[in-house]
Amino acid sequence: MESYVLRVWLPDRPGALGAVASRIGAVKGDVVGIEILETGAGQAVDELVVQLPDATLVDLLVAEVRQVDGVHVEEVRSAGPNGHDPRRATLETAAKLVEATSRLGLLAVARDIAPMSLSAAWVAVVDVEAGGTLAAGERAPSQDWLAAFVHGAASAASLGGADAGASDVIWTPLTEVGLAIVAGRDRIVWRSRERRELEALGRIVAARWTELPATAS
């Protein structure tokens, strides 16, 4: 069996999800996981983990789901060899952050482990006051871009506006320690549940940052 993550927009009304599941079943697919990422304005954004007997059925799966009135397929991707369990992945990231024995180790977890639980292409940790990047994944933008993004996002937040920058990049300030965590992905918009997840991980990073030595022990 092949597993895929299907991100869909659907009307927030009774029976809509059942109609999507019925279409998935029509191509011999099995829904093995559901995550509600966002609701509002009569719409819901869900991620469905679907098992298919054959990878050649993916295009047919998408075509079938699109036949449901009001449903839009935003993304379909392979779940990979480890499957797709965002709650477990988030707990594992949190555990790694707690287990870090130095600030360098903490930064390494944020850079290397957090992207997997966030389904992010990259994660970076920025020193807000100095404007420097303390850690960043290989696919992260330049240090200057990250500093400008954080500055713009902080300015917009102070004025009660939305985050600065594209919707495929999000951030959370760690005000008490003068840092910010920025996360990005390719084209796919971040949803409210995912933003809250980054904020929660950020609180752990901030708490551990104050507890850990500035240099490796």
Residue 166 confidence (pLDDT) above 50: no
Please give the structure tokens belonging to residue 131: 């404007």
**Which residues are within 8 A (CB) of 19 and not within 5 positions of it... i.e. 6 or more apart?**
68, 69, 71
Q: How far is CA 26 from the centre of its chain?
A: 30
Give CA angle at 161 (134, 150), nearest 5°: 10
pLDDT of residue 41: 87
pLDDT of residue 164: 44
Residue 71 confidence (pLDDT) above 70: yes
C-alpha span between 96 and 92 (Å, rounded): 6
- Taken in order 78, 205, 142, 166, is the CA torsion positive or negative? positive
Residue 167 confidence (pLDDT) above 90: no
For all residues of the chain together, what is the average pLDDT?
91
pLDDT of residue 215: 67
SS3 at position 161:
coil
95 or 157, higher pLDDT: 95
Which residue segments constitute the domains of the chain, with CATH numbers given?
2-78 (3.30.70.260), 86-211 (3.30.450.40)
Mean pLDDT computed over 49-64: 94
Mean pLDDT computed over 185-214: 92
Please give the structure tokens belonging to residue 183: 């996360």
118-150 pLDDT, tens per residue? 989 999 999 998 989 999 999 999 999 999 999
6-37 pLDDT, tens per residue? 999 999 888 999 999 999 999 999 999 999 99
SS3 at position 156:
helix
